[in-house]
Amino acid sequence: MEVPKLRDGQLAAATYGPPMGGDSYDFVRVSPTRVLFGLLDVAGRLDDIRAIVSAAQNTFRTLGAELLGREDTNEADAMIELCIGLNRTILNAAGSVCSSPAFAGCYNESLGTVCYFNAGHTPGLMRDDSGVIELGATGLPLGLFSHLTPDAPMIALQPGAALLVVSRGMVEARRKSVEFGLQKVKNELQQAQSQTAQEICATVLGSVREFIGKSPVRNDATAIALARSAARKASPAAG
């Protein structure tokens, strides 16, 4: 998958272990100034839900470009419509209820903002100078009900800040009876002050790998990161 290049930052994703379930991530540039990214977790084994994942990815790309391609579009309204469209696609493809938590964001390079929805997914984590904050659920998981009332908040990603989204499989990775947990993910992100998006993903997955040791991997472990480059310092004036 080709990851869109950003003007002043990076997008990246990484997974740990072989694909086992319905974790699916995607990136797509939808306009000269907007990039759409998302992480979807369709319940079930990969062989059973492959068609659902494929249908959702197609809707994410085509509907996302249609809704967010115009410069004058309202990003919050567009992200809500995208959430509703994905829900409809998953219900139709599954033919029944199919719980599918999802996190999707639209990064506006000109403004340095991210408009997002969190449909019952693991909280997104944003790190800036004030620390790490959780971007909790703004609606129910997709694939449960035909009618949704999602919300699409907007956050400012200041220079040097980063946004990290991890799958449930990463948070619930176990060593014996102990879970890795969201707090350990937050700690890793907090310490990754000068890392690129690729390095953030690698650091978090490496920490999970070290934590579980030889314990079996029971679920997909996926991370996607968006990192905005730090502001360049002005050169001293020539004397």
Look at residue 239 and tell me if it is in a domain.
no
Look at residue 235 and tell me if it is in a domain.
no
Which token pair is 28?
Answer: 């797509």
Query: How many structural domains are present in the chain?
Result: 1
Look at residue 133 and tell me if it is in a domain.
yes
pLDDT at residue number 46: 77
The torsion angles phi and psi of 110, rounded to 5 degrees, stand at -70, -35
pLDDT at residue number 20: 60
pTM for the full predicted model: 0.92
Look at residue 219 and tell me if it is in a domain.
yes
Q: Which amino acid is at 168?
A: R
Q: At residue 234, does pLDDT exceed 70?
A: no
Q: What percent of the chain has pLDDT over 90?
A: 71
Q: At residue 179, does pLDDT exceed 60?
A: yes
Confidence band (pLDDT; 50, 70, 90) for 173?
A: confident
Nearest residue to 34 (alpha-carbon basis) of 104, 107, 105, 83: 107
Look at residue 214 and tell me if it is in a domain.
yes
CA dihedral 206, 210, 216, 221 (to 10 degrees): -30
Look at residue 185 and tell me if it is in a domain.
yes
Which residues form the domain of 224? 9-228
The torsion angles phi and psi of 82, rounded to 5 degrees, stand at -65, -45
pLDDT in tens, 106-154: 999 999 999 999 999 999 999 999 999 999 999 999 999 998 889 999 9
Helices (H), ranges, the chain: 46-68, 75-94, 168-171, 182-191, 197-212
Total number of residues shown for the chain: 239
Q: Tell me which range, 40-54, 106-120, 220-234, is most confidently predicted by mean pLDDT.
A: 106-120
The CATH number given to whatever domain includes residue 203 is 3.60.40.10
CA dihedral 123, 206, 162, 135 (to 10 degrees): 0
